[in-house]
Structure 1
Amino acid sequence: MIQALLLIFHVLIVIGVTLRILLRDDFSPQARLTWFVVLVVLPYVGSIIYFLLGETDPWNKATKRHNEVFDEIRAKASHLMGAPEDTERLIDPLYRPAFLYAASINGFYPVAKSRADLMADAEATNTHLVADIDAAQSHVHVLYYIWLDDNTGRAIAHALIRAAQRGVTCRAIADGLGSRAVIKSPLWQHMKDAGVQMAVAMPLDNPIRTILKSRVDLRNHRKITVIDSKITYCGSRNSADPEFRVKAKYAPWVDIMLRFEGSVVAQNELLFISDWMMATGKIIDDITLTSHPVEGGFPAQVMGDGPTERQGATPQLFAVLIASAQETLTLSTPYFVPDETVLEALCSAAHRGVAVTLIFPKVNDSWIVAAASRSYYRKLLSAGCEIREFKDGLLHAKTLTLDGKVTMIGSSNIDLRSFDLNYENNILLQDHGVTHAVRERQQEYIARSDLMTLEEVNAWPRRKRIWHNVIATIGPVL
């Protein structure tokens, strides 16, 4: 009798989950089919897996709150967000579709008069960042996905402490998962005691509540630093040493950072403010929301994406950017598990004669991503893309350059986590000088990489190819 009741209960659950999957308009056919396979192959736990990993915001509370926050920001600071006519005035017609699409995600249009310096390396980034915080007069805002209690993490923490002690308003956000160790450390408490206002994005102090409300693996992956509304940093680096102690065997982590001044700083600050309001429920009303344009600077705009934004926004942006390329497109990312939109856009660009170069790590800290990435090599190489595997550590830089004119840099990877689950931040800009500098850095990555050939990929054993394709097939679940 008990077995019969359990069977009936199980059938009802499977039917319920199946109907839910069929009602999900945001699922691709591949994702829907993958979940059906999970339910069949794992009949007793598949429904639980779906409950844990299949829904991002089951009660739509986070989305509603996110929309309220951005409505409030637009009401107070629409003058900092740019306007559609600015795109027509500032951006080359070839690239306007990409900038306009980026603006459609969260309302940030290109603004004129920004400038940027490419940091030479991790040490130079630390030197400039600490000096900027030490020179702060009004406020400092920082947000990191990973904040470690190492040399870099302590240097930034102590700079914030010094700033707070001399009367500068300091606010710091760390992700509840990526920074879980430092959040529980004396360093975190030391910052609090010194007057730094601290917040945890998507905390994990109550895992049951997190599971019931959303997903444990929804994360704030952003890396934002803003000083006095005049300086911001954007790139791939967390608050952590290149040696990255938690995964030291893959070190060094090779990152890239740009130090911006000018009008785009205000947009990055507004994105931080949205995260602060989401994390704390509090508004920031003790600073004047203004921009500080730099004469002769270039146009740039911020793009922030996340699970509470429009589904598919990031891969569609990448696809539009890729379609804008006329001559060259160079992309680096540590995690490459594209959806069909991005994959076909890359192949299409190569087929029409664009020199497409893709740079990935040779050894990845995620065996899942490493296997899934290589399942796409044959298709990309056959289309004419060039693939390079960086061999001197884990290449963590997320960069995209087009035709020596346009650059996008930030936290977004080319994978399903960045596309669907993580809150990300990027800056899209049009400038020959900055793009040339980033392009030269990409060439340094290429010089330290191995060239992958179609002949080499075709020579892979069948078991290896099967393994790659199996992992790629279950990608929508992962």
Structure 2
Amino acid sequence: MLAITQFLSDYWPHLVAAISLTLSVSAAIHAAMNKNDVRAAIAWVGVVLMSPFLGPFLYLVAGINRIRHDQLSTQRSRLIKDYVNHAREPIRDIATLAGPQFASLRVLGDRISRFPLHDGNHITLLDSGDQAYPAMLQAIDSAAHCIALQSYIFDHDRIGLQFAEALRRAHDRGIVIRVLIDSVGSKYSRPPIIHLLRRYGIHTELFMSNMLGLRMPYANLRSHRKILFIDGHLGFMGGMNIRESFMTSLMGRHAARDTHFRIEGPAATQLFAVFANDWEFTTRERLRIEDWCQRTIDAPQPQVPARCIRSSPDRFIAATHNVLLGALAVAQRHVRIQSPYFLPDQTLMGALNTAARRGIQVDIVIPGRNNLRLVNCAMTAQLAQVIAGGCRIWRSRGNFDHSKLITIDDGWSYVGSSNMDPRSLRLNFELDMEIYDPAMARQIAERIDGEIAQADLVTLESLKAIPFLKQLRNRVIWLASPYL
């Protein structure tokens, strides 16, 4: 023992250096071999080599994608096959319905999404919590068979309690219920509402991953999806979390805005397939589509073609990114985008600028008041690159708007949970929907145009007028934009 103690005393600096070198080299090799983005690989190699111990630890926590090769891949694929066999609807000619330019976009969606494009969907736009929450609560109270609810944030506030009570009433009626809340998002309010839901007897879980055998969330990999699925035929999805800040009746003139969608038809069943994947990933419990989708009810008119597009840091990585690139490539007249967090990467920015240079009118609406100050700084630092390419950037004057909306040529729409930033497009588990319907596209376009009518146009001159120290602050924060 004395010899070991003496050895450690004499050589501990060498041992520490050897351990540090081993950890750094191992982490650097892993990053070089597993990162597909050369910029990410270079960044991580630099971090782990230049920061002994801390660098490898950060890479272990935030740099390794343990989701992409999860052990449920076979079962998850089988769930999608079950869905495809469960719901089949004829598809109208997309070129005639939405426009000839969208025929190739449909082919792109066929190859990116595991879900087929289905006709027979009745989709209703819901404006903010004032329309969305009452409709969702009424659907829960009317449920006769099953409820699946997934949310990034489910606050323990006045609206969250209304949802909790509605779920309790449904549980007392004997309705089968599953609730999935993101482990990071669950901490937005104290105490987390999961304790109340479990006390009501509702089967509720947190979306999280294991690290080193410990039950703890990945702050870098979040389930940002918002899903409510009722009785096998009715669904809700979009950008809205469950929190009172979107209710005018509760927050008055300070209420934030958002957009959600009510769906009847095959696309609603796709929502369940996505939920079932995430539920099995989290709990290892498989929810059979035959049990949850027993009722087949024809959706009311009008019916439109639509399908879900899910993106996540597994085999669906960059799905939404690829769809957006394809949509911008086929645009012929007008692109409208509304995004609360607008931080496109260079590839997406190039596609936007290329569309503008082709003569396409590209209008992008971002909040004048943002709920995330750091993100707003990073956004501001990058706007000049988009404006210089010919795109028009508008800062809305009203309260914060959390909507994620895109329309192309008044014929195709893309809506859901994805923001146009690196986290949403590569790290988060997101759920969006493409809709081939001129009427819905016009409705969304009118909403965006209404924002533009009361917005301020951002110009290169207005950006140059920002004081230098603020510009420098924005650029420094922008360097960390992939992690905001």
Tell me the TM-score normalized by structure 1. 0.88
SS at match of 1:242: helix
What 5-or-longer segments of structure 2 have no aligned partner? 1-10
Establish whether residue 170 from structure 1 lines up as the match of residue 177 from structure 2: yes
Task: State the distance in 2 between where 1:350 and 1:108 align.
Answer: 31
SS at match of 2:214: helix
Establish whether residue 446 from structure 1 lines up as the match of residue 452 from structure 2: yes
Equivalent in the alignment of 2:242: 239
SS at match of 1:119: strand
Task: State the distance in 1 between where 2:141 and 2:159 align.
Answer: 15
How far residue 395 of structure 1 moved from its aligned partner, in angstroms, is 1.8
Establish whether residue 15 from structure 1 lines up as the match of residue 18 from structure 2: no
Relative to structure 2, which stretch is displaced further, 79-88 or 130-139? 79-88
SS at match of 2:185: coil
CA contact (8 A) 2:246 2:258 kept: no
Establish whether residue 113 from structure 1 lines up as the match of residue 110 from structure 2: no
| Post-superposition CA distance 1:276-319 (Å, at most 9, x none) | 22222112243345654435411000111111224332212211
In the alignment, which of 221, 227, 232 is matched to residue 229 of structure 1? 232
Equivalent in the alignment of 2:214: 209
In the alignment, which of 203, 206, 209 is matched to residue 200 of structure 1? 206
SS at match of 1:470: helix
Equivalent in the alignment of 1:383: 389
In the alignment, which of 362, 370, 373 is matched to residue 356 of structure 1? 362
Task: Tell me the amino acid that sits aligned with residue 71 of structure 1.
Answer: S
Equivalent in the alignment of 1:471: 477
| Post-superposition CA distance 1:222-241 (Å, at most 9, x none) | 00011112221121110111
Task: Tell me the amino acid that sits aligned with residue 63 of structure 2.
Answer: G
In the alignment, which of 56, 64, 86 is matched to residue 65 of structure 2? 56
CA contact (8 A) 1:34 1:474 kept: no
Establish whether residue 287 from structure 1 lines up as the match of residue 296 from structure 2: no
Task: State the distance in 2 between where 1:189 and 1:462 align.
Answer: 48
Tell me the TM-score normalized by structure 2. 0.87
Establish whether residue 325 from structure 1 lines up as the match of residue 334 from structure 2: no
Task: Tell me the amino acid that sits aligned with residue 209 of structure 1.
Answer: L
Task: Tell me the amino acid that sits aligned with residue 80 of structure 2.
Answer: R
How far residue 118 of structure 1 moved from its aligned partner, in angstroms, is 1.5
Structure 1 segments of 4 or more deviating over 6 A? Answer: 83-91
Task: State the distance in 2 between where 1:365 and 1:38 align.
Answer: 30
Residues 26/76 of structure 1: CA separation in 2 closer, same or farther (3 Å cut): same
Equivalent in the alignment of 1:46: 55
Relative to structure 2, which stretch is displaced further, 217-226 or 7-16? 7-16
Task: Tell me the amino acid that sits aligned with residue 271 of structure 1.
Answer: V
| Post-superposition CA distance 1:110-161 (Å, at most 9, x none) | 1001112222331221221111211121212111110011122111111111
Equivalent in the alignment of 1:402: 408
Task: Tell me the amino acid that sits aligned with residue 8 of structure 1.
Answer: A
Q: Please give the residue correspondences for 1:61-140 in structure 2 after superposition, counting only pairs within 5 Å.
A: 62=70, 64-65=71-72, 67-80=73-86, 92-140=99-147
Establish whether residue 268 from structure 1 lines up as the match of residue 278 from structure 2: no
CA contact (8 A) 2:88 2:118 kept: yes
How far residue 263 of structure 1 moved from its aligned partner, in angstroms, is 2.1
Task: State the distance in 1 between where 2:347 and 2:298 align.
Answer: 36
CA contact (8 A) 1:351 1:383 kept: yes
How far residue 404 of structure 1 moved from its aligned partner, in angstroms, is 1.0
SS at match of 1:239: coil
Identity of counterpart residues, as a percentage?
A: 24
What 5-or-longer segments of structure 1 have no aligned partner? none
Residues 183/277 of structure 1: CA separation in 2 closer, same or farther (3 Å cut): farther
Task: Tell me the amino acid that sits aligned with residue 233 of structure 1.
Answer: F
Q: State the number of aligned residues.
A: 466
CA contact (8 A) 2:147 2:230 kept: yes
Task: State the distance in 2 between where 1:37 and 1:469 align.
Answer: 21
Task: Tell me the amino acid that sits aligned with residue 140 of structure 2.
Answer: I
SS at match of 2:429: strand
Residues 108/433 of structure 1: CA separation in 2 closer, same or farther (3 Å cut): same
Task: State the distance in 2 between where 1:139 and 1:374 align.
Answer: 45
Task: State the distance in 2 between where 1:88 and 1:404 align.
Answer: 13
Relative to structure 2, which stretch is displaced further, 42-51 or 449-458? 42-51
CA contact (8 A) 2:91 2:305 kept: no
Task: Tell me the amino acid that sits aligned with residue 304 of structure 2.
Answer: F
